[in-house]
Homo-oligomer: A and B are copies of this chain.
Amino acid sequence: MTERRLQILDAAATLISERGYTSTSVDDVIKSAKLSGKSHFYHYFKSKEELGYEVLNRQFERFAERGLAILREPMIDPLERLNLFIDAVVALQSESGGRRGSPFGNLAAELADAHEGFRVRIEAVFERWASQIRSLLWEARPQLQDDVDAVRLSRFIIAALEGAVLMTRVKRDLSVLEGIAVDLKRFIAMHVRDKSAWPLHRHHE
């Protein structure tokens, strides 16, 4: 039962990340998921909107597994984990040559004003993402300067990555993201308490 649903979800996720939500028609999804017709599709989803919501959830779950999970690795130094996470974002984008951008950022830009249902769900996604970074930052507190604002810094990291991914997509040039990743690591390293005791600043040489 759930198998065909996932197949549809995956097909839709690909289409939506390529063309956006509005420009992806239900018929496109049906064709791509090799369903027999609309009845078949509407047997699994009550509307295109519901499909969109579930695609968003699924995209976040994938991102949580393949990206955010790194932030919680218990055996690695927290700030090192943050660098690894940034590397993972770059790696994820590399898979599509930087052409797809962020599934969250794309939907956000497309629907934030037009569709409140999506807006709140995307907001929740960013919040969950930010909270992961915040708890990592909390964990790294002993290494960080006293005045580090975890809320602000976590937002900055996400904004920089989302902006970088967007520009990469527009320029069709992965090196944009790579360069910004380097700078972002440097910015994070700027917040460590004792730079000489922290070898992270070698990352940008």
Give A163 to B165 CA distance when docked, in angstroms: 9
In chain A, positions 99-125 with a C-beta closer than 8 Å to chain B are: 99-101, 105-106, 108-114, 119, 122-123
Give A153 to B121 CA distance when docked, in angstroms: 32
If A156-B160, A161-B163 touch, whether A108 touches B22 (CB-CB below 8 Å) is no
Distance from A167 Cβ to chain B, minimum over Cβ atoms (Å): 5
Distance from A104 Cβ to chain B, minimum over Cβ atoms (Å): 9
- Interface residue A58 (Cβ < 8 Å from any Cβ of B): no
| CB-based contact A122/B179 at 8 Å | no
If A101-B109, A113-B100 touch, whether A183 touches B166 (CB-CB below 8 Å) is no
- Interface residue A23 (Cβ < 8 Å from any Cβ of B): yes
Task: Tell which of A25-33, A68-76, A168-176 binds the partner.
Answer: A168-176
Majority SS at the chain A contact face: helix
If A106-B109, A109-B109, A110-B20 touch, whether A166 touches B170 (CB-CB below 8 Å) is no
Distance from A170 Cβ to chain B, minimum over Cβ atoms (Å): 5
- Interface residue A80 (Cβ < 8 Å from any Cβ of B): no
| CB-based contact B108/A170 at 8 Å | yes
Give A180 to B164 CA distance when docked, in angstroms: 14
Q: Which residues of B contact A101 (CB under 8 A)?
A: 109, 112-113
- Interface residue A126 (Cβ < 8 Å from any Cβ of B): yes
Give A19 to B111 CA distance when docked, in angstroms: 8
Residue of B nearest to A118 (CB): B170
Residue of B nearest to A162 (CB): B163
